[in-house]
Structure 1
Protein backbone atom coordinates (compact mmCIF):
# COMPACT_ATOMS: atom_id res chain seq x y z
CA UNK A 1 0.00 0.00 0.00
CA UNK A 2 1.36 3.40 -0.99
CA UNK A 3 0.59 6.45 1.16
CA UNK A 4 1.32 9.99 0.07
CA UNK A 5 2.24 12.87 2.35
CA UNK A 6 -1.06 14.54 1.43
CA UNK A 7 -2.99 11.39 2.40
CA UNK A 8 -1.28 11.39 5.81
CA UNK A 9 -1.89 15.10 6.39
CA UNK A 10 -5.56 14.87 5.44
CA UNK A 11 -6.02 11.74 7.52
CA UNK A 12 -4.53 13.44 10.58
CA UNK A 13 -6.80 16.45 10.06
CA UNK A 14 -9.84 14.14 9.86
CA UNK A 15 -8.79 12.33 13.03
CA UNK A 16 -8.44 15.64 14.87
CA UNK A 17 -11.82 16.80 13.54
CA UNK A 18 -13.36 13.63 14.98
CA UNK A 19 -11.67 14.14 18.36
CA UNK A 20 -12.49 17.83 18.74
CA UNK A 21 -16.07 17.66 17.43
CA UNK A 22 -17.06 14.28 18.88
CA UNK A 23 -19.93 15.72 20.95
CA UNK A 24 -21.41 17.56 17.98
CA UNK A 25 -21.20 14.52 15.72
CA UNK A 26 -22.83 12.34 18.39
CA UNK A 27 -25.61 14.92 18.73
CA UNK A 28 -26.25 14.78 14.98
CA UNK A 29 -26.36 10.98 15.04
CA UNK A 30 -28.79 11.08 17.97
CA UNK A 31 -31.06 13.54 16.10
CA UNK A 32 -31.43 11.46 12.93
CA UNK A 33 -35.17 10.89 12.31
CA UNK A 34 -34.93 7.16 11.59
CA UNK A 35 -38.19 5.20 11.65
CA UNK A 36 -36.44 2.09 13.00
CA UNK A 37 -32.86 1.31 13.98
CA UNK A 38 -31.02 0.73 10.69
CA UNK A 39 -29.37 -2.62 10.12
CA UNK A 40 -27.34 -1.63 7.06
CA UNK A 41 -25.60 1.76 6.89
CA UNK A 42 -23.39 3.32 4.23
CA UNK A 43 -20.87 6.03 5.18
CA UNK A 44 -20.28 7.79 1.88
CA UNK A 45 -16.88 9.52 1.78
CA UNK A 46 -16.09 8.07 5.19
CA UNK A 47 -12.62 9.55 5.68
CA UNK A 48 -10.98 7.90 8.68
CA UNK A 49 -14.29 6.83 10.21
CA UNK A 50 -15.76 9.78 12.12
CA UNK A 51 -19.29 9.03 10.97
CA UNK A 52 -18.83 5.27 10.92
CA UNK A 53 -18.04 5.06 14.64
CA UNK A 54 -20.58 7.71 15.70
CA UNK A 55 -23.27 5.73 13.90
CA UNK A 56 -22.16 2.43 15.42
CA UNK A 57 -22.34 4.06 18.85
CA UNK A 58 -25.89 5.18 18.06
CA UNK A 59 -26.90 1.91 16.35
CA UNK A 60 -24.72 -0.80 17.94
CA UNK A 61 -26.30 -3.70 16.04
CA UNK A 62 -25.81 -2.18 12.58
CA UNK A 63 -23.28 -3.02 9.89
CA UNK A 64 -21.52 -0.17 8.11
CA UNK A 65 -20.11 -0.08 4.60
CA UNK A 66 -17.48 2.67 4.65
CA UNK A 67 -16.65 4.12 1.22
CA UNK A 68 -13.73 6.40 0.38
CA UNK A 69 -11.32 7.01 -2.49
CA UNK A 70 -8.21 7.18 -0.27
CA UNK A 71 -6.53 3.91 0.75
CA UNK A 72 -4.86 5.66 3.69
CA UNK A 73 -8.21 6.71 5.12
CA UNK A 74 -9.63 3.20 4.86
CA UNK A 75 -6.47 1.70 6.37
CA UNK A 76 -6.83 3.94 9.43
CA UNK A 77 -10.54 3.18 9.66
CA UNK A 78 -9.92 -0.58 9.69
CA UNK A 79 -7.27 -0.16 12.40
CA UNK A 80 -9.72 1.82 14.54
CA UNK A 81 -12.45 -0.79 13.98
CA UNK A 82 -10.10 -3.51 15.26
CA UNK A 83 -9.09 -1.42 18.27
CA UNK A 84 -12.77 -0.82 19.12
CA UNK A 85 -13.79 -4.43 18.67
CA UNK A 86 -16.22 -3.74 15.80
CA UNK A 87 -14.18 -5.00 12.84
CA UNK A 88 -16.86 -7.59 12.11
CA UNK A 89 -19.43 -4.81 11.65
CA UNK A 90 -17.42 -2.70 9.21
CA UNK A 91 -16.75 -3.30 5.52
CA UNK A 92 -14.52 -0.89 3.61
CA UNK A 93 -14.89 -0.13 -0.09
CA UNK A 94 -12.30 1.94 -1.98
CA UNK A 95 -14.09 3.77 -4.79
CA UNK A 96 -14.08 7.06 -6.66
CA UNK A 97 -17.76 7.97 -6.45
CA UNK A 98 -17.47 10.19 -9.52
CA UNK A 99 -16.63 7.06 -11.51
CA UNK A 100 -18.14 3.57 -11.33
CA UNK A 101 -20.73 3.26 -8.55
CA UNK A 102 -19.85 0.38 -6.19
CA UNK A 103 -22.27 -2.29 -4.99
CA UNK A 104 -23.51 -0.93 -1.67
CA UNK A 105 -26.40 -3.30 -1.14
CA UNK A 106 -29.71 -1.78 -0.02
CA UNK A 107 -28.91 0.31 3.05
CA UNK A 108 -31.46 1.69 5.49
CA UNK A 109 -29.31 4.77 6.16
CA UNK A 110 -26.73 6.62 4.07
CA UNK A 111 -24.51 9.18 5.83
CA UNK A 112 -22.65 11.75 3.70
CA UNK A 113 -20.60 14.09 5.87
CA UNK A 114 -18.41 16.74 4.22
CA UNK A 115 -18.29 14.58 1.10
CA UNK A 116 -21.00 15.72 -1.33
CA UNK A 117 -19.33 19.07 -2.02
CA UNK A 118 -16.27 17.20 -3.29
CA UNK A 119 -18.26 15.38 -5.98
CA UNK A 120 -17.90 16.50 -9.59
CA UNK A 121 -21.65 15.93 -10.08
CA UNK A 122 -23.32 15.79 -6.65
CA UNK A 123 -26.82 15.77 -8.16
CA UNK A 124 -26.00 12.52 -9.95
CA UNK A 125 -24.62 11.16 -6.67
CA UNK A 126 -27.87 12.05 -4.90
CA UNK A 127 -29.91 10.23 -7.55
CA UNK A 128 -27.67 7.18 -7.16
CA UNK A 129 -28.08 7.27 -3.38
CA UNK A 130 -31.85 7.55 -3.80
CA UNK A 131 -31.94 4.47 -6.00
CA UNK A 132 -29.61 2.56 -3.64
CA UNK A 133 -31.55 3.17 -0.43
CA UNK A 134 -34.13 0.72 0.83
CA UNK A 135 -37.75 1.96 0.64
CA UNK A 136 -38.26 4.59 3.36
CA UNK A 137 -34.49 4.64 3.83
CA UNK A 138 -32.89 7.83 5.13
CA UNK A 139 -30.07 9.99 3.76
CA UNK A 140 -28.22 12.33 6.12
CA UNK A 141 -26.16 15.12 4.57
CA UNK A 142 -23.78 16.92 6.94
CA UNK A 143 -21.74 19.92 5.81
CA UNK A 144 -19.51 22.46 7.52
CA UNK A 145 -20.33 26.09 6.84
CA UNK A 146 -16.85 26.80 5.56
CA UNK A 147 -13.53 25.95 7.15
CA UNK A 148 -13.34 26.54 10.93
CA UNK A 149 -11.84 29.66 12.47
CA UNK A 150 -9.32 29.18 15.26
CA UNK A 151 -7.85 32.56 16.24
CA UNK A 152 -9.38 35.61 17.95
CA UNK A 153 -10.20 38.39 15.46
CA UNK A 154 -7.40 40.58 16.86
CA UNK A 155 -4.72 37.90 16.47
CA UNK A 156 -1.87 37.57 15.92
CA UNK A 157 -0.69 40.67 17.66
CA UNK A 158 1.61 41.77 14.83
CA UNK A 159 -1.00 41.13 12.06
CA UNK A 160 -4.54 41.40 13.52
CA UNK A 161 -7.27 39.90 11.34
CA UNK A 162 -4.84 37.54 9.61
CA UNK A 163 -7.19 34.55 9.63
CA UNK A 164 -10.04 36.40 7.92
CA UNK A 165 -7.65 37.56 5.20
CA UNK A 166 -6.51 33.94 4.73
CA UNK A 167 -10.09 32.82 4.23
CA UNK A 168 -10.81 35.68 1.84
CA UNK A 169 -7.71 34.75 -0.16
CA UNK A 170 -8.85 31.11 -0.31
CA UNK A 171 -12.23 31.86 -1.89
CA UNK A 172 -11.02 31.80 -5.53
CA UNK A 173 -9.20 28.51 -4.88
CA UNK A 174 -12.26 26.89 -3.34
CA UNK A 175 -14.60 28.32 -5.97
CA UNK A 176 -12.49 26.56 -8.60
CA UNK A 177 -11.77 23.28 -6.83
CA UNK A 178 -14.87 22.74 -4.63
CA UNK A 179 -17.62 24.82 -6.29
CA UNK A 180 -20.41 22.98 -4.41
CA UNK A 181 -19.11 23.93 -0.97
CA UNK A 182 -21.75 25.88 0.93
CA UNK A 183 -24.64 24.65 -1.24
CA UNK A 184 -28.21 24.49 0.03
CA UNK A 185 -28.80 20.76 -0.28
CA UNK A 186 -32.52 20.88 0.52
CA UNK A 187 -33.77 21.72 -3.00
CA UNK A 188 -31.23 19.37 -4.54
CA UNK A 189 -32.46 16.50 -2.39
CA UNK A 190 -36.02 17.18 -3.52
CA UNK A 191 -34.91 17.30 -7.15
CA UNK A 192 -33.26 13.89 -6.70
CA UNK A 193 -36.56 12.38 -5.58
CA UNK A 194 -36.22 12.59 -1.79
CA UNK A 195 -38.82 13.76 0.71
CA UNK A 196 -37.50 16.15 3.37
CA UNK A 197 -37.40 14.60 6.85
CA UNK A 198 -35.62 17.30 8.85
CA UNK A 199 -33.03 20.07 8.82
CA UNK A 200 -30.96 21.73 11.51
CA UNK A 201 -27.86 23.84 12.09
CA UNK A 202 -25.45 23.17 14.93
CA UNK A 203 -23.16 25.93 16.20
CA UNK A 204 -19.63 24.76 17.00
CA UNK A 205 -17.50 26.69 19.52
CA UNK A 206 -14.94 24.47 21.23
CA UNK A 207 -12.33 26.29 23.31
CA UNK A 208 -8.82 24.94 23.77
CA UNK A 209 -9.55 24.62 27.47
CA UNK A 210 -12.02 21.84 26.60
CA UNK A 211 -9.63 19.91 24.34
CA UNK A 212 -5.90 20.13 23.85
CA UNK A 213 -6.48 18.64 20.38
CA UNK A 214 -7.80 22.09 19.35
CA UNK A 215 -4.21 23.36 19.02
CA UNK A 216 -3.13 20.44 16.81
CA UNK A 217 -6.31 20.82 14.77
CA UNK A 218 -5.58 24.52 14.25
CA UNK A 219 -1.99 23.75 13.23
CA UNK A 220 -3.01 21.15 10.63
CA UNK A 221 -5.88 23.26 9.37
CA UNK A 222 -3.80 26.39 8.85
CA UNK A 223 -1.02 24.36 7.22
CA UNK A 224 -3.49 23.14 4.60
CA UNK A 225 -4.91 26.62 4.17
CA UNK A 226 -1.41 27.95 3.57
CA UNK A 227 -0.99 25.50 0.67
CA UNK A 228 -4.01 27.06 -1.02
CA UNK A 229 -3.34 30.74 -0.39
CA UNK A 230 0.43 31.30 -0.12
CA UNK A 231 0.67 32.89 -3.55
CA UNK A 232 -2.15 35.33 -2.81
CA UNK A 233 -0.86 36.68 0.51
CA UNK A 234 1.16 39.79 1.20
CA UNK A 235 4.71 39.21 2.37
CA UNK A 236 3.76 40.47 5.82
CA UNK A 237 0.81 38.08 6.15
CA UNK A 238 2.84 35.14 4.89
CA UNK A 239 5.57 35.87 7.44
CA UNK A 240 3.00 36.13 10.24
CA UNK A 241 1.38 32.87 9.16
CA UNK A 242 4.72 31.07 9.05
CA UNK A 243 5.48 32.28 12.56
CA UNK A 244 2.23 30.68 13.72
CA UNK A 245 3.09 27.43 11.93
CA UNK A 246 6.66 27.26 13.27
CA UNK A 247 6.14 24.71 16.04
CA UNK A 248 9.51 25.53 17.63
CA UNK A 249 9.14 29.31 17.52
CA UNK A 250 7.90 31.64 20.25
CA UNK A 251 4.87 32.62 18.14
CA UNK A 252 3.78 29.03 17.48
CA UNK A 253 0.05 28.45 17.38
CA UNK A 254 0.66 25.50 19.71
CA UNK A 255 1.62 27.99 22.44
CA UNK A 256 -1.57 30.06 22.22
CA UNK A 257 -4.11 29.58 25.06
CA UNK A 258 -6.84 31.57 23.25
CA UNK A 259 -7.63 29.13 20.44
CA UNK A 260 -11.08 27.75 19.68
CA UNK A 261 -12.82 25.88 16.87
CA UNK A 262 -15.66 28.07 15.60
CA UNK A 263 -17.95 27.09 12.75
CA UNK A 264 -21.41 25.70 12.01
CA UNK A 265 -22.57 22.29 10.84
CA UNK A 266 -25.68 22.10 8.69
CA UNK A 267 -27.62 18.84 8.52
CA UNK A 268 -30.33 17.70 6.11
CA UNK A 269 -32.25 14.44 6.50
CA UNK A 270 -34.28 13.14 3.58
CA UNK A 271 -36.20 9.95 2.95
CA UNK A 272 -36.69 7.78 -0.08
CA UNK A 273 -40.44 7.99 -0.57
Structure 2
Protein backbone atom coordinates (compact mmCIF):
# COMPACT_ATOMS: atom_id res chain seq x y z
CA UNK A 1 0.00 0.00 0.00
CA UNK A 2 2.84 2.39 0.84
CA UNK A 3 4.28 1.90 -2.63
CA UNK A 4 1.25 3.62 -4.11
CA UNK A 5 1.57 6.65 -1.85
CA UNK A 6 3.49 9.80 -2.58
CA UNK A 7 6.39 10.91 -0.35
CA UNK A 8 4.24 13.56 1.36
CA UNK A 9 1.55 11.01 2.12
CA UNK A 10 4.10 8.51 3.43
CA UNK A 11 5.54 11.12 5.81
CA UNK A 12 2.03 12.05 6.99
CA UNK A 13 1.15 8.39 7.67
CA UNK A 14 4.43 7.91 9.55
CA UNK A 15 3.94 11.02 11.66
CA UNK A 16 0.32 10.08 12.43
CA UNK A 17 1.50 6.63 13.52
CA UNK A 18 4.12 8.21 15.77
CA UNK A 19 1.42 10.56 17.13
CA UNK A 20 -0.94 7.70 18.00
CA UNK A 21 1.80 5.58 19.60
CA UNK A 22 3.21 8.59 21.46
CA UNK A 23 -0.19 9.66 22.79
CA UNK A 24 -1.01 6.09 23.87
CA UNK A 25 2.26 5.61 25.76
CA UNK A 26 2.36 9.13 27.19
CA UNK A 27 -1.32 8.88 28.10
CA UNK A 28 -0.72 5.80 30.24
CA UNK A 29 2.36 7.33 31.83
CA UNK A 30 0.62 10.66 32.44
CA UNK A 31 -2.42 8.94 33.88
CA UNK A 32 -0.26 7.12 36.42
CA UNK A 33 1.86 10.16 37.33
CA UNK A 34 -1.09 12.55 37.57
CA UNK A 35 -3.08 10.09 39.65
CA UNK A 36 -0.14 9.80 42.04
CA UNK A 37 0.12 13.60 42.17
CA UNK A 38 -3.62 13.99 42.72
CA UNK A 39 -3.48 11.40 45.49
CA UNK A 40 -0.52 13.19 47.07
CA UNK A 41 -2.37 16.50 46.92
CA UNK A 42 -5.41 14.97 48.63
CA UNK A 43 -3.12 13.38 51.23
CA UNK A 44 -1.48 16.71 52.00
CA UNK A 45 -4.86 18.40 52.40
CA UNK A 46 -6.08 15.56 54.62
CA UNK A 47 -2.97 15.73 56.79
CA UNK A 48 -3.41 19.48 57.28
CA UNK A 49 -7.01 18.89 58.31
CA UNK A 50 -5.95 16.09 60.65
CA UNK A 51 -3.32 18.28 62.30
CA UNK A 52 -6.00 20.94 62.74
CA UNK A 53 -8.34 18.43 64.39
CA UNK A 54 -5.53 17.26 66.69
CA UNK A 55 -4.92 20.87 67.74
CA UNK A 56 -8.61 21.29 68.51
CA UNK A 57 -8.58 18.10 70.54
CA UNK A 58 -5.56 19.25 72.50
CA UNK A 59 -7.07 22.68 73.11
CA UNK A 60 -10.33 21.15 74.34
CA UNK A 61 -8.54 18.65 76.55
CA UNK A 62 -6.06 21.07 78.16
CA UNK A 63 -7.98 24.33 78.33
CA UNK A 64 -11.71 23.75 78.01
CA UNK A 65 -12.21 20.53 79.91
CA UNK A 66 -10.39 21.60 83.12
CA UNK A 67 -12.50 24.76 83.33
CA UNK A 68 -15.71 22.73 83.24
CA UNK A 69 -14.82 19.96 85.69
CA UNK A 70 -17.08 21.19 88.48
CA UNK A 71 -20.00 21.74 86.14
CA UNK A 72 -19.57 18.31 84.54
CA UNK A 73 -20.45 16.63 87.84
CA UNK A 74 -24.07 17.75 87.54
CA UNK A 75 -24.37 18.65 83.88
CA UNK A 76 -22.41 16.78 81.24
CA UNK A 77 -21.45 18.93 78.24
CA UNK A 78 -20.49 17.10 75.02
CA UNK A 79 -18.54 20.22 74.00
CA UNK A 80 -15.97 19.31 76.69
CA UNK A 81 -15.11 16.07 74.88
CA UNK A 82 -12.14 16.50 72.49
CA UNK A 83 -13.60 14.08 69.94
CA UNK A 84 -16.91 15.94 69.92
CA UNK A 85 -15.21 19.32 69.45
CA UNK A 86 -13.07 18.05 66.60
CA UNK A 87 -16.03 16.44 64.85
CA UNK A 88 -18.21 19.54 65.14
CA UNK A 89 -15.48 21.87 63.91
CA UNK A 90 -14.83 19.58 60.97
CA UNK A 91 -18.53 19.53 60.05
CA UNK A 92 -18.51 23.33 60.07
CA UNK A 93 -15.42 23.24 57.85
CA UNK A 94 -17.18 20.91 55.41
CA UNK A 95 -19.76 23.61 54.78
CA UNK A 96 -17.02 25.33 52.80
CA UNK A 97 -17.04 24.25 49.18
CA UNK A 98 -13.38 23.26 49.11
CA UNK A 99 -13.77 20.61 51.84
CA UNK A 100 -17.31 19.37 51.26
CA UNK A 101 -16.11 16.00 49.96
CA UNK A 102 -13.91 15.27 52.99
CA UNK A 103 -15.15 13.21 55.93
CA UNK A 104 -13.67 12.90 59.42
CA UNK A 105 -14.12 10.16 61.98
CA UNK A 106 -12.37 9.19 65.17
CA UNK A 107 -12.93 5.47 64.77
CA UNK A 108 -12.66 4.09 68.32
CA UNK A 109 -12.72 0.48 69.46
CA UNK A 110 -14.55 1.24 72.70
CA UNK A 111 -16.12 4.72 72.45
CA UNK A 112 -18.50 6.41 74.83
CA UNK A 113 -20.55 7.75 71.94
CA UNK A 114 -21.44 4.91 69.57
CA UNK A 115 -21.30 7.40 66.71
CA UNK A 116 -17.53 6.95 66.91
CA UNK A 117 -17.63 3.12 66.96
CA UNK A 118 -15.11 1.64 64.53
CA UNK A 119 -16.52 -0.74 61.92
CA UNK A 120 -14.72 -3.94 60.94
CA UNK A 121 -12.44 -2.26 58.40
CA UNK A 122 -11.57 0.61 60.74
CA UNK A 123 -10.95 -1.80 63.62
CA UNK A 124 -8.35 -3.60 61.49
CA UNK A 125 -6.60 -0.27 60.89
CA UNK A 126 -6.51 0.36 64.65
CA UNK A 127 -5.13 -3.13 65.27
CA UNK A 128 -2.38 -2.53 62.69
CA UNK A 129 -1.41 0.63 64.54
CA UNK A 130 -1.26 -1.31 67.80
CA UNK A 131 0.52 -4.41 66.48
CA UNK A 132 2.83 -3.02 63.81
CA UNK A 133 3.67 0.34 65.34
CA UNK A 134 2.75 2.22 62.17
CA UNK A 135 2.16 5.97 62.43
CA UNK A 136 0.19 6.46 59.24
CA UNK A 137 -1.85 4.38 56.79
CA UNK A 138 -3.57 5.30 53.54
CA UNK A 139 -5.29 3.54 50.66
CA UNK A 140 -8.58 2.88 48.93
CA UNK A 141 -11.64 1.25 50.44
CA UNK A 142 -14.69 -0.15 48.66
CA UNK A 143 -18.09 0.82 50.01
CA UNK A 144 -21.62 0.23 48.66
CA UNK A 145 -21.80 3.90 47.70
CA UNK A 146 -18.47 3.79 45.86
CA UNK A 147 -14.75 3.61 46.57
CA UNK A 148 -13.13 6.08 48.94
CA UNK A 149 -9.55 7.14 49.55
CA UNK A 150 -8.60 7.34 53.23
CA UNK A 151 -5.67 8.40 55.35
CA UNK A 152 -5.42 7.39 59.02
CA UNK A 153 -3.27 8.07 62.05
CA UNK A 154 -3.35 6.36 65.47
CA UNK A 155 -5.37 7.95 68.23
CA UNK A 156 -3.81 7.45 71.65
CA UNK A 157 -4.66 8.56 75.19
CA UNK A 158 -1.97 11.20 75.75
CA UNK A 159 -3.61 13.31 78.46
CA UNK A 160 -4.46 12.09 81.96
CA UNK A 161 -7.53 14.32 81.88
CA UNK A 162 -9.04 11.83 79.42
CA UNK A 163 -8.93 9.11 82.09
CA UNK A 164 -11.28 11.09 84.33
CA UNK A 165 -14.11 10.07 82.03
CA UNK A 166 -12.75 6.85 80.55
CA UNK A 167 -10.79 4.90 83.19
CA UNK A 168 -13.45 3.37 85.43
CA UNK A 169 -17.14 3.90 85.97
CA UNK A 170 -16.75 4.97 89.63
CA UNK A 171 -14.61 8.04 88.78
CA UNK A 172 -16.51 9.11 85.68
CA UNK A 173 -18.87 12.13 85.93
CA UNK A 174 -22.34 10.95 86.90
CA UNK A 175 -23.90 13.28 84.37
CA UNK A 176 -21.92 11.53 81.60
CA UNK A 177 -23.02 8.10 82.84
CA UNK A 178 -26.62 9.25 82.83
CA UNK A 179 -26.22 10.37 79.22
CA UNK A 180 -24.24 7.43 77.76
CA UNK A 181 -24.55 4.61 80.30
CA UNK A 182 -21.82 2.34 81.62
CA UNK A 183 -21.53 -0.19 78.80
CA UNK A 184 -18.99 1.65 76.64
CA UNK A 185 -16.04 4.00 76.85
CA UNK A 186 -14.24 2.70 79.95
CA UNK A 187 -11.03 0.85 80.64
CA UNK A 188 -8.78 3.21 78.71
CA UNK A 189 -5.14 3.48 79.76
CA UNK A 190 -2.59 6.25 79.38
CA UNK A 191 -0.64 6.09 76.06
CA UNK A 192 -2.86 3.29 74.82
CA UNK A 193 -4.00 3.40 71.18
CA UNK A 194 -7.75 3.36 71.43
CA UNK A 195 -8.70 4.33 67.87
CA UNK A 196 -7.70 6.08 64.66
CA UNK A 197 -8.23 9.49 63.18
CA UNK A 198 -9.50 8.85 59.67
CA UNK A 199 -10.11 11.40 56.95
CA UNK A 200 -11.65 10.07 53.74
CA UNK A 201 -12.68 11.45 50.38
CA UNK A 202 -14.50 9.80 47.45
CA UNK A 203 -12.01 8.07 45.14
CA UNK A 204 -13.73 9.76 42.19
CA UNK A 205 -12.31 13.06 43.37
CA UNK A 206 -8.77 11.70 43.03
CA UNK A 207 -9.45 9.92 39.72
CA UNK A 208 -11.43 12.77 38.12
CA UNK A 209 -8.79 15.30 39.09
CA UNK A 210 -6.11 13.15 37.47
CA UNK A 211 -8.23 12.44 34.38
CA UNK A 212 -9.00 16.13 33.92
CA UNK A 213 -5.31 16.99 34.03
CA UNK A 214 -4.52 14.11 31.65
CA UNK A 215 -7.07 15.31 29.10
CA UNK A 216 -5.72 18.85 29.22
CA UNK A 217 -2.08 17.78 28.85
CA UNK A 218 -2.79 15.20 26.13
CA UNK A 219 -4.89 17.80 24.32
CA UNK A 220 -2.01 20.28 24.40
CA UNK A 221 0.47 17.62 23.25
CA UNK A 222 -1.89 16.57 20.43
CA UNK A 223 -2.29 20.16 19.24
CA UNK A 224 1.47 20.66 19.29
CA UNK A 225 2.07 17.42 17.42
CA UNK A 226 -0.62 18.16 14.79
CA UNK A 227 0.96 21.58 14.30
CA UNK A 228 4.33 19.87 13.84
CA UNK A 229 2.80 17.53 11.24
CA UNK A 230 1.36 20.49 9.34
CA UNK A 231 4.67 22.39 9.48
CA UNK A 232 6.64 19.28 8.40
CA UNK A 233 4.26 18.83 5.44
CA UNK A 234 4.61 22.49 4.47
CA UNK A 235 8.40 22.27 4.72
CA UNK A 236 8.46 18.94 2.85
CA UNK A 237 6.24 20.36 0.13
CA UNK A 238 8.36 23.51 -0.38
CA UNK A 239 11.83 22.02 0.07
CA UNK A 240 11.44 18.54 -1.44
CA UNK A 241 8.20 17.87 -3.32
CA UNK A 242 8.05 21.04 -5.47
CA UNK A 243 11.77 20.96 -6.40
CA UNK A 244 11.46 17.27 -7.34
CA UNK A 245 8.41 18.06 -9.46
CA UNK A 246 10.33 20.81 -11.25
CA UNK A 247 13.29 18.48 -11.89
CA UNK A 248 10.91 15.79 -13.16
CA UNK A 249 9.14 18.20 -15.51
CA UNK A 250 12.43 19.52 -16.94
CA UNK A 251 13.77 15.97 -17.33
CA UNK A 252 10.65 15.00 -19.27
CA UNK A 253 11.04 18.01 -21.60
CA UNK A 254 14.72 17.25 -22.15
CA UNK A 255 13.82 13.63 -22.95
CA UNK A 256 11.56 14.89 -25.75
CA UNK A 257 14.29 17.05 -27.25
CA UNK A 258 13.59 20.43 -25.68
CA UNK A 259 17.18 21.28 -24.82
CA UNK A 260 16.46 24.96 -24.17
CA UNK A 261 15.09 24.24 -20.69
CA UNK A 262 17.50 24.01 -17.78
CA UNK A 263 17.67 22.46 -14.33
CA UNK A 264 17.64 25.27 -11.74
CA UNK A 265 19.72 24.73 -8.60
CA UNK A 266 17.71 26.37 -5.79
CA UNK A 267 19.58 24.89 -2.81
CA UNK A 268 22.82 23.26 -1.76
CA UNK A 269 21.26 20.17 -0.21
CA UNK A 270 20.59 16.76 -1.75
CA UNK A 271 17.91 18.21 -4.04
CA UNK A 272 20.42 20.80 -5.27
CA UNK A 273 22.95 18.05 -5.87
CA UNK A 274 20.35 16.15 -7.86
CA UNK A 275 19.65 19.25 -9.98
CA UNK A 276 23.39 19.68 -10.65
CA UNK A 277 23.68 16.02 -11.64
CA UNK A 278 20.80 16.37 -14.09
CA UNK A 279 22.34 19.58 -15.42
CA UNK A 280 25.66 17.79 -16.07
CA UNK A 281 23.76 14.95 -17.67
CA UNK A 282 21.99 17.42 -19.96
CA UNK A 283 25.31 19.03 -20.94
CA UNK A 284 26.78 15.60 -21.60
CA UNK A 285 23.74 14.74 -23.70
CA UNK A 286 24.07 17.97 -25.70
CA UNK A 287 27.77 17.32 -26.30
CA UNK A 288 27.04 13.76 -27.38
CA UNK A 289 24.33 14.94 -29.76
CA UNK A 290 26.71 17.53 -31.28
CA UNK A 291 29.40 14.89 -31.76
CA UNK A 292 26.88 12.62 -33.41
CA UNK A 293 25.72 15.46 -35.62
CA UNK A 294 29.28 16.41 -36.58
CA UNK A 295 30.17 12.78 -37.13
CA UNK A 296 27.17 12.39 -39.40
CA UNK A 297 28.18 15.45 -41.46
CA UNK A 298 31.76 14.24 -41.82
CA UNK A 299 30.59 10.83 -43.03
CA UNK A 300 28.39 12.43 -45.69
CA UNK A 301 31.26 14.59 -47.00
CA UNK A 302 33.57 11.59 -47.19
CA UNK A 303 30.96 9.62 -49.09
CA UNK A 304 30.61 12.39 -51.67
With the length of structure 1 as denominator, give the TM-score of the two structures.
0.25
Pick the structure with more strand per residue.
1
Rg larger for: 2
Pick the structure with more helix per residue.
2
With the length of structure 2 as denominator, give the TM-score of the two structures.
0.23
